[in-house]
Amino acid sequence: MNSPTTTRVKADGWRMPSETARHDAIWMAFPREGITLGETASEREAGYRAWADVALAVAEFEPVKMVVDPTETQRARDMLGEGIELFEAPLDEFWMRDIGPTFVVDDERPGVLGAVDWIFNGWGAPAWAEWQKSAQIARFVAQASGAELVSSTLVNEGGGINVDGEGTVLLTETVQLHDKRNPLADKQRVEAEMARTLGTSKAIWLPRGLTRDYDDFGTNGHVDIVATFSSAGKVLLHTQNDPEHPDYQVSRDLRALLEQETDAQGRRLEVIELPAPGALRDEEGFVDFSYVNHLVVNDGVIACGFGEPEADAVARDVLGAAYGRKVVTVDAREIFARGGGIHCITQQQPTLVGKEA
């Protein structure tokens, strides 16, 4: 695998744009056989179909670039058609938000794209995880996209951060400060690295994430299933309204915290509730079904669906009002069954200054 030709050690000019900014493409990774995809043929087929459905939905709004393990190239082509560009590279995990780079721009050098290469260790190197191949994907995608590599020594994942593009980043204490990720880190060190790589000046730390995210196959609190900036000064918050679910109290505690916060520009945050669907449990316990884990695309939003017409419609209404864009629902239950949602399997490549549509 080739490495990017240019590596910047000092990255003072980098800034991660808001996810609502224009994109040149959405990057994804196609599933391959292994522990995440499933043990039976029907489980594997359901996983392939879920990833493909998201890719095809995104492709209606903007280009999709799909990294594919060589063992899955023909299947990917058969399921995705000719309209989605494929890039072959060895994979084990296929959550592109976490294994891929975080794209940034350089306000000091308009027209230059950067790609932050966080250290990926399978969400804290749990015994079950297979991640060594996918730990190389950020560099591969940086090369394929023509981006300058921004190397980081922080163990982090793209699902563990959310920015407003104006200096504010949402983080979770149980992710970046996790002892199996960054045992020597403290908030000041993490914030300094976010400033260097993402251009942020204000970090808002959530104390925890959703309950299900702390099981053996969880991420220990990724923010992208809990809260996201819909625009400057406005945060969409996962809200569990059934007192039987442990996230009922979690979501209320997080709301109380966020309502007291200000962003990097000094604005008091407005919190917009995004209600959870009605399902409370599956065979493993309390679910973490969340409409917060959506993807903003050019002129649209790809929303998670959970087979609940009324709840899915409420989510479309909230998201449509928040973004002022067309909202398309894609069934995400098979993705959540494997540990994440639509946002987790995608990564936006921003349009550079001077290239806006």
Taking the domains of the chain in order of start, what are their residue ranges?
7-350
Q: Which residues, 6 or more positions from 150, have their beta carbon under 8 angstroms from its beta carbon?
A: 7, 8, 11, 14, 104, 114, 115, 116, 117, 197
Backbone angles phi, psi at 105, to 5 degrees: -120, 165
The pLDDT value recorded for residue 355 is 55
- Reference 310, options 275, 272, 273, 337; nearest CA is 275
* Interatomic CA distance for residues 128 and 125, integer angstroms: 8
Strand order from edge to edge, sheet including 234-239:
227-231, 234-239, 270-275
The pLDDT value recorded for residue 335 is 98
pLDDT tens track for 200-216 = 999 999 999 999 999 99
Give the mean pLDDT per block of 10 residues along the chain (357 residues). 40 88 98 94 97 98 98 98 97 97 94 97 93 97 98 98 98 98 98 98 98 95 98 98 98 98 98 98 96 98 98 98 98 97 98 68
Q: Which two tokens stand for residue 74?
A: 């023909």
First to last CA, the chain: 33
Exposed e or buried b for every residue in 74-103, given b needs 16+ CB within 10 A? Answer: ebbeebbeeebebbebbbbbbbbbbbbbbb
CB-based contact 133:60 (threshold 8 Å): no
Catalytic residue among 143, 344, 345, 347: 344
Q: Which residues pair with 295 in a beta bridge?
A: 302
Q: Residue 272 in 3-state DSSP?
A: strand
CATH no. of 7-350: 3.75.10.10
- Reference 141, options 347, 345, 297; nearest CA is 347
Torsion of CA 192, 194, 198, 201, to 10 degrees: -60
Q: Residue 314 in 3-state DSSP?
A: helix
Tell me the H-state helices in 61-119.
73-80, 96-99
The H-or-E segment that residue 85 falls in is: strand 85-88
Q: Residue 238 in 3-state DSSP?
A: strand
Q: Which two tokens stand for residue 216?
A: 């053996």
Q: Is 310 exposed, middle or buried (0-12, 13-18, 19+ CB in 10 A)?
A: exposed
304 as an active site residue: the answer is no
The pLDDT value recorded for residue 353 is 79
